[in-house]
Amino acid sequence: MNKLKLYIFILSFGLMSSFVVSEETEEEVVQPSNPQELLEIVKQGQFADTRQQRAREAQFRNEKNKQAKLLSDAKAERARLEKEAARLEQKFEANEALLVVAEEQLRERLGSLNEIFGHLAGNTTEARNIMEQSITAAQFGKGREDFMTNLGSKMNEGIKLASIEELETLWFELQREINASGEVVKFSADVITTDGNVESRDVVRVGNFNVVSDGQYLTYSPSRGTYSELPSQPAGRFTSQSTDLLNGDTFPVQFAVDPTGPQGGSLLASLISMPSTWGKMQEGGLVGRTLMIIGVLATLLFIWRFYVLWGIRGSVIAQTGSATLNNDNPLGRILKIAEDDKGADTETLELKMAEQILKERPSIENLNWVLKIVSVVAPLMGLFGTIIGMIETFTMITLFGTGDPKTMASGISTALVTTWLGLMVAIPTTFMYATINNISRGILGTIEESSTGMAAKRSEGAQ
């Protein structure tokens, strides 16, 4: 009996704990002290479960009723919208029919005026495209472009004709652009420099071809509505003319105009893209730079040797006309031997003077051989660079084919530039060597002639 009560107590306690744990909040759970209290707690839990179930059922029924009502309202709204859509569709069809009739009436009333819409729309669009790119836009402003855009849009709609004021403005802008193409005008405008700064300058516009300022050709930037300096300028003979044009008060003034297009066309672009002489030399690569260095050194050597030999030549010529012998020139030192050794026979005197001439010869012919070698080696180096360039060209042909000539341009340029540099160094150096060698030979000839004359006089005196 006691064991049975114990089992009942454990079972009841387990059931009770499942309800008590779920509802446990801030209050402490009351532990039963005897089976009677446990039975009472189980009974109260059953009553509580029944009440909760009933409350949940009532809530479910309420939610179900609400959903049913919402569904009913949605169906009613859908039916209303379907009726409205049907009504609007009927109204749209009716309006479309009226629009067809109205358009037909508009065409009948306009008649031949429809052609005006097309002509005005085409002319305004073409004029706007021209004026957007024209160099006169920076002078006349962007107001005319906005006018052309608005008028073109209006004519494309084909509903309303242009007014008399609009037609007169269109005619005025077209005529002003035509007149500007034959004018040379000086005015102040903003110019964007190559470093990005904006400066206010005096510019000269030559028709609708070119604009110049401060000795530089300018281009027009449609996106910014201002002039800007070209990243590279044409040759100096053209930019100097632009300076004369800017500062000239009277005409005519000689000026180079690019007639191939507004703001400078293909001709100016070609002049700008052409490399300068220094740029062409840079295309020669290592061989080209070596040739340039050799050419500069040969030129400096020529200048130095010419200065030295010209001084020796002057002193020798002065010595031939002077009775006083000086040791500051080769001829004086040679003749000094004959004067110091008056008792020597003619043969001995000639040998001594010949020995002195041999001593003087190296200083007179010093480094002349360098110029001769440069004049011979420079073409060979140019030929060497030509071979390098052709090897590079054939390598590019092997890799990329002959479809794009630009891939071969670098090698061909190297080949031609090195040949050009080789000849450019060799030809002047040949003349330099000939000049120096001629001066040296002239000095030596004068010395030998004077020494021989001295020996002849000594021989005549001995006889």
pLDDT in tens, the chain (463 residues): 444 444 455 545 454 444 444 444 434 445 666 677 666 766 666 556 667 777 888 888 888 888 888 888 899 899 999 999 999 999 999 899 888 888 777 777 666 666 777 777 888 888 888 888 888 888 888 888 888 888 888 877 766 777 888 888 888 988 988 888 888 888 888 888 888 788 888 888 888 888 888 878 888 888 788 888 877 777 767 777 666 666 666 667 777 777 776 555 667 766 666 666 666 666 777 888 888 899 999 999 999 999 998 888 888 888 777 777 777 778 778 777 777 766 667 677 777 777 888 888 888 888 889 999 999 999 999 898 888 888 888 888 888 777 777 777 777 888 888 888 899 999 999 999 999 999 988 888 888 887 777 777 766 655 5
* Amino acid code (one letter) for 46: Q
Measured CA to CA, the distance from residue 127 to residue 110 in angstroms comes to 25
Residue 70 lies in a domain: no
Q: What is the pLDDT of residue 45?
A: 61
CB burial readout 240-278, b (16+ within 10 A) else e: ebbeebbebeeeeeebbebeeebbbeeebbebbeeeeee
391 Cβ contact list (under 8 Å, min separation 6): 411
Q: Among 221, 242, 272, where does a domain finish?
A: 272
Residue 197 and residue 345 in one domain: no
Is the same domain home to 253 and 294? no
Nearest Cα neighbor of 210 from 188, 168, 236, 180 is: 180
| Strand duo 184-192 + 226-229: pairing | parallel
Same domain, 241 and 315: no
| Amino acid found at 208 | N
Pair of tokens at residue 201: 């300058």
Measured between alpha carbons, how far is 338 from 325 in angstroms, rounded to an integer? 11
Q: Judge whether 185 and 138 are in contact, CB under 8 Å.
A: no
Residue 262 shares a structural domain with residue 298: no
**Would you state the pLDDT for residue 198?**
86
Residue type, 400: F
* Measured CA angle at 38 (ends 32, 42), to 5 deg: 130
Q: What's the pLDDT score for residue 392?
A: 84
CA dihedral over 222, 225, 231, 236, signed as positive or negative: positive
Q: Is 218 helix (H, G, I), strand (E, B) or coil?
A: strand
End-to-end CA distance of the chain: 183
Q: Are residues 298 and 376 in the same domain?
A: yes
Residues forming beta bridges with residue 206, ordered by sequence position: 184, 210
38 inside domain: no
Q: Residues 246-255: contacts with CB within 8 Å, 24+ apart? A: 246/186, 246/202, 246/204, 246/212, 246/213, 246/214, 246/215, 251/184, 255/206
Q: Is residue 32 a contact partner of residue 11, using CB atoms and an 8 Å limit?
A: no
Q: Which residue, among 220, 462, 233, 205, has the nearest Cα to 349 in the 3D structure?
A: 462
**122 lies in a domain?**
no
Q: What are the two backbone dihedrals, phi and then psi, of residue 308, each rounded to the nearest 5 degrees?
A: -65, -50
**Which residue type occupies 174?**
L
Residue keyed to tokens 């079972």: 11
* 380 and 449, same domain (yes or no): yes
Q: Tell me whether residue 267 is in a domain.
A: yes
Question: Is 343 domain-assigned?
Answer: yes
* Domain-embedded: residue 126: no
The token pair that represents 101 in the structure block? 């009739």
Residues 351 and 234 in one domain: no
- The verdict on 311 and 250 lying in the same domain is no
Domain span at residue 237 reads 182-272
Claim: this prediction has a pTM higher than 0.95: no
The answer to whether residues 232 and 203 belong to one domain is: yes
| Boundary of a domain, candidates 272, 306, 324 | 272
365 and 320 co-located in one domain: yes
In this structure, is residue 92 part of a structural domain? no
Instruction: State how far Cα 275 lies from the chain centre.
Output: 15
How confident is the model over 406-429, as pLDDT tens digits?
777 777 888 888 888 899 999 999
Is 252 part of a structural domain of the chain? yes
Q: Which strand (E) or helix (H) includes residue 6?
A: helix 2-23
Q: Which residues of 33-48 are buried (b: 16+ CB within 10 A; e: fewer)?
A: eeeeebeebbeebeee
CA 75 – CA 93 distance, rounded (Å): 27
Domain count for the chain: 2
What CA–CA distance (Å, rounded) separates 408 from 411?
6
Residues 406, 413: Cα–Cα separation, whole Å: 11
Q: How far is CA 319 from CA 307, 334, 355, 363, in A?
A: 18, 11, 20, 18
Count of alpha carbons within 13 Å of 242, Cβ hemisphere only?
23
Pairing relation of β-strands 226-229 and 210-213? Answer: unpaired
> Same structural domain for residues 415 and 375?
yes
What is the identity of the amino acid at 216? Answer: Q
**The domain boundary residue, chosen from 212, 247, 272:** 272
Q: Which amino acid is at 408?
A: M
259 and 325 share one domain? no
